[in-house]
A = this chain, B = another copy of it.
Amino acid sequence: MNYNISLIPGDGIGPEIVAEAKKVLDKVCEKYGHTFSYSEVLLGGASIDVHGVPLTDEAIATAKASDAVLMGSIGGDAKTSPWYKLEPSKRPEAGLLAIRKALNLFANLRPAYLYNELRAACPLRDEIIGDGFDMIIVRELTGGLYFGERKTVEENGVKKAIDTLSYNENEIRRIAIKAFDIAMKRRKKVTSVDKANVLDSSRLWRKVVEEVAKDYPEVTLEHMLVDNCAMQLVRDPKQFDVILTENMFGDILSDEASMVTGSIGMLSSASLNETRFGLYEPSHGSAPDIAGQNKANPIATILSAAMMLRFSLDLDEEANAVEAAVQKVLTAGYRTGDIMSEGCTLVGTKEMGDLIAKEI
């Protein structure tokens, strides 16, 4: 089959890791007889350099016309990066929020699991790890504080800044349905996280989630307050299967969960709209400090490409093949620096990509 894929290499290590994912996808095409046509889309620093803004209408149009978007990572840390040509409020984080909104990517799926081979990298004690953990955060991505009205005003010479958190029933329902659908294919447990003892938006969240739950009698639903969830992720992450939450809580908890696994260089993510279309990217950042040094771990991006094969292109067998290839290379003891441990073989970004492609 023929597919059109938009590539957003992005900033920092982005271009290097996307190149390795493409290498693996090329091998998939060769083996399974597909053709992928790639269009490059500029976002973040790369777009600022060329167009002066983090995201253009053309970029959105190209992305929309494709079957899926595969992204590296965007973000600038050093004061020298192109991001800093822009006002703080116009920075490429804005590019990221704008593309999420423009493509209506309301469902952010972030698996957080522990590879058995990487137990030693997990910051938690062995007793807590137990048989390991495997959870997925389903984060609402186009509502809440991220997209509410905001303004800074002055009252009697004192500046005051206001952000707004709002959710309506439809926005809550569609993300809840995603979470329950996913739970049905997993261990059938949804933990919905909110702050219903304080926020009106959380009380509405809880009500709608309970309504949706009625259509999934096999799934166990529990509600958890966000502060408690932040504790439970450290105390006993094994308890979680699917965590369903709103945008800002999801931002915080998904990063905490990925660090709890100790393998953030391994974790993929998908941002989906109501069709099969989605944007796929590693959970980690752009790591400008190691950019261009062939040190970055490309596995999270390669696994994101696998998610793309599965969710947007409906190529389950191919997705499984990529995931199995990653597993084989890990079992064989190859590691990039971030996941290196005694007795393993240290390899660079390109070598890791080669090794995985070879296993397809």
* Residues of chain A from 137 to 174 with CB closer than 8 A to chain B in the complex: 145-146, 148, 150-152, 155, 158-170
A62 within 8 Å of B (CB atoms): no
Residue in contact with A163 in the complex, picked from B123, B159, B200, B259, CB distance below 8 Å: B200
Give bound CA distance, A259 to B200, whole Å.
Answer: 27
A235 within 8 Å of B (CB atoms): yes
Is B235 touching A255 in the complex (CB atoms < 8 A)?
Answer: no
A245 to chain B, nearest CB (A): 12
| A side interface size, CB within 8 A | 61
Is B128 touching A155 in the complex (CB atoms < 8 A)?
Answer: no
Give bound CA distance, A128 to B123, whole Å.
Answer: 7
A253 within 8 Å of B (CB atoms): yes
Is A200 touching B161 in the complex (CB atoms < 8 A)?
Answer: yes
Is A165 touching B168 in the complex (CB atoms < 8 A)?
Answer: no
A42 within 8 Å of B (CB atoms): no
A227 within 8 Å of B (CB atoms): yes
A329 within 8 Å of B (CB atoms): no
Provide the residues of chain B in CB contact with A37, threshold 8 Å.
none
A340 within 8 Å of B (CB atoms): no
Give bound CA distance, A197 to B44, whole Å.
Answer: 13
A258 within 8 Å of B (CB atoms): yes
Given contacts A159-B168, A168-B159, A252-B252, contact A197 B231 (CB under 8 A): no
Is A201 touching B162 in the complex (CB atoms < 8 A)?
Answer: yes
Is B163 touching A201 in the complex (CB atoms < 8 A)?
Answer: yes
A260 within 8 Å of B (CB atoms): yes
A226 within 8 Å of B (CB atoms): yes
Provide the residues of chain B in CB contact with A260, threshold 8 Å.
234
In the complex, residue of chain B having the shortest beta-carbon distance to the beta carbon of A205: B161
Selecting from A89-97, A214-222, A269-277, A298-306, the interface stretch reads A89-97
Provide the residues of chain B in CB contact with A89, threshold 8 Å.
200, 203
A256 within 8 Å of B (CB atoms): yes
A174 to chain B, nearest CB (A): 12
Is B234 touching A200 in the complex (CB atoms < 8 A)?
Answer: no
Provide the residues of chain B in CB contact with A161, threshold 8 Å.
166-168, 199-201, 203-205
Given contacts A123-B124, A123-B128, A128-B123, contact A227 B200 (CB under 8 A): no
Give bound CA distance, A8 to B161, whole Å.
Answer: 35
Provide the residues of chain B in CB contact with A203, threshold 8 Å.
88-89, 152, 161
A-B contact pairs, 10 of them (CB 8 A): A123-B124, A124-B125, A158-B169, A160-B204, A161-B199, A164-B164, A195-B251, A227-B254, A231-B255, A235-B259
Assuming A161-B203, A162-B201, what are 6 further A-B pairs, CB within 8 angstroms? A91-B197, A124-B125, A162-B166, A195-B251, A226-B252, A234-B234
